[in-house]
């Protein structure tokens, strides 16, 4: 059971997804991308599927990515992942070990039940176990309160340039 304070969800467990479930990893990633980017049903995701497959094939064995999912019986209901990387050490990150939380997604029928929160907490434990001292993420307005309730704070000085 996924423990949530005094209550437990009716899902058997959160489990890590590995290369033996590569098809599921790619399918769920494409489902997340369709939702987040509001891709139309006829949008061709074959190239994205291929590049995500190649990403997982490299990143999972080398330990730079971990993915997990929750199921209701055999039905996939939610997923989340974290990329691990090292940046230059600083006072805010003495070892420079960082994580990027991503792909946090719960199917609409299963939302507002604490599943996403449980997945994020599961990943944060594994990140801490790997010596990660900072975790970053991108969020949608709908997900912001989840992360704030877990102690994430907004960064005002963060900028991006796409190349």
* 65-72, strands of its sheet edge to edge: 14-17, 65-72, 75-86, 97-106, 134-137
pLDDT tens digits, one per residue of 142-160: 889 999 999 999 887 777 7
Match 């006829």 to its residue by tokens: 42
pLDDT tens digits, one per residue of 80-92: 999 999 999 999 8
pLDDT tens digits, one per residue of 117-127: 999 999 999 99
CATH numeric code, 6-149: 3.40.630.30
Q: What is the pTM of this model?
A: 0.88
Could you give the C-alpha distances from 22 to 60, 99, 113, in angstroms and in order? Answer: 10, 21, 27
């Amino acid at each position: 059971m996924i423990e949530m304070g005094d209550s437990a969800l009716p899902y058997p467990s959160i489990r890590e997804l590995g290369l033996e479930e590569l098809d599921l990893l790619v399918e769920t990633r494409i489902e997340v991308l369709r939702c987040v980017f509001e891709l139309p049903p006829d949008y061709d995701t074959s190239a994205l599927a291929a590049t995500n497959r190649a990403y997982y094939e490299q990143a999972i064995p080398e330990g730079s990515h971990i993915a997990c999912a929750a199921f209701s019986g055999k039905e996939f209901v939610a997923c989340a992942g974290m990329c691990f990387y090292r940046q230059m050490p600083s006072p805010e990150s003495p070892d420079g070990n960082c994580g990027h939380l991503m792909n946090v997604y719960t199917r609409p029928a299963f939302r507002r039940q604490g599943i996403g929160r449980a997945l994020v907490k599961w990943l944060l434990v594994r990140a801490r176990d790997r010596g990660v001292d900072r975790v970053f993420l991108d969020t949608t307005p709908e997900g912001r309160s989840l992360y704030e309730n877990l102690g994430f704070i907004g960064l005002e000085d963060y900028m991006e340039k796409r190349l």
